[in-house]
């Protein structure tokens, strides 16, 4: 807010452009039968994983149009990866965004996982109305004045249930799935 209480976009013109990267994560919980449809590429609306990954990339590119006061950034890299976890009936969505700019790319990474998760929901809702989106969160960031940050690994207590938002996926983990021919 400015001194009169009006919204304003923060002026970053005096900040140096530096390399910045952010990784975000979300999880989508669903019935085991629905997860099998998704993994097999047999969802009611087609290849859920590929469409959701593409939707996440497209969303990251449009973040400044969706989030008020968010700076438009020249993104140099965007990756969105969805990894199924059959044991928990969960899809883990991870997005990584990079730029060389005067402000960070956390919002772009979180927008990517959010829209990818919403796309999964949209594509499977006719098969499973109980699909739940969980744990949209920043996992790590690098660059800028505040430097590097990484979400601490959850403490695991033997016999206790894990993080309710789902497991983290190491950067670069990728599910291999059959492609439609």
> Do residues 100 and 93 lie in contact, with contact meaning Cβ atoms separated by under 8 Å?
no
pLDDT of residue 146 exceeding 90, the answer is: no
The confidence score (pLDDT) of residue 166 equals 47
pLDDT tens profile 6-42: 888 888 888 888 999 999 999 999 999 999 999 999 9
Please, which residues have CB within 8 angstroms of residue 140's CB and are 6 or more apart in sequence?
A: 21, 22, 23, 148, 149, 150, 151
> Do residues 128 and 30 lie in contact, with contact meaning Cβ atoms separated by under 8 Å?
yes
CB atoms under 10 Å from CB of 57, counted, come to 18
Is 148 catalytic? The answer is no
Where do the H-state alpha helices sit in the chain?
Answer: 32-39, 48-61, 63-66, 106-124
CB atoms under 10 Å from CB of 100, counted, come to 13
The confidence score (pLDDT) of residue 145 equals 84
CA–CA distances in Å: residue 140 to residues 3, 78, 133, 151, 163: 32, 15, 20, 6, 17
pLDDT tens profile 101-143: 999 999 999 999 999 999 999 999 999 999 999 999 999 999 9
Cα-Cα end-to-end distance for the chain: 53
Confidence of residue 170 (pLDDT cuts 50, 70, 90): very low
pLDDT of residue 156 exceeding 80, the answer is: no
The confidence score (pLDDT) of residue 168 equals 46
CB atoms under 10 Å from CB of 149, counted, come to 13
Per the residue annotation, which of 31, 85, 122, 163 is the catalytic one?
122
Lowest-confidence range among 90-99, 106-115, 144-153? 144-153
Helices (H) and strands (E) in the chain, counts: 4, 5
> Do residues 29 and 89 lie in contact, with contact meaning Cβ atoms separated by under 8 Å?
yes
pTM equals 0.82
| % of the chain beyond a pLDDT of 90 | 69
Tokens 């929901």 belong to residue: 121
Tokens of 148: 């590097």
pLDDT of residue 1 exceeding 80, the answer is: no
């Amino acid at each position: 807010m400015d001194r009169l209480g009006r919204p304003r976009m923060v002026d970053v013109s005096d900040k140096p452009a530096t390399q910045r990267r952010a990784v975000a994560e979300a999880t989508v919980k669903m019935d085991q039968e629905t997860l099998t449809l998704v993994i097999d590429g047999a969802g009611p609306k087609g290849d859920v994983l590929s469409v959701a990954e593409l939707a996440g990339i497209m969303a990251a590119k449009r973040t400044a149009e969706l989030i008020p006061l968010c700076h438009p950034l020249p993104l140099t890299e965007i990756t969105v990866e969805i990894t199924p976890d059959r044991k928990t009936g969960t899809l883990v969505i991870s997005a990584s965004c990079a730029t060389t700019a005067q402000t960070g790319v956390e919002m772009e990474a979180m927008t990517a996982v959010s829209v990818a998760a919403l796309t999964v929901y949209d594509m499977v809702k006719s098969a499973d109305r109980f699909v739940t989106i969980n744990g949209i969160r920043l996992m790590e960031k690098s660059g800028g004045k505040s430097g590097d940050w990484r979400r601490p690994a959850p403490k695991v207590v033997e016999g206790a249930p894990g993080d309710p938002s789902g497991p983290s996926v190491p950067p670069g983990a990728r599910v291999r799935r059959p492609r439609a021919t």
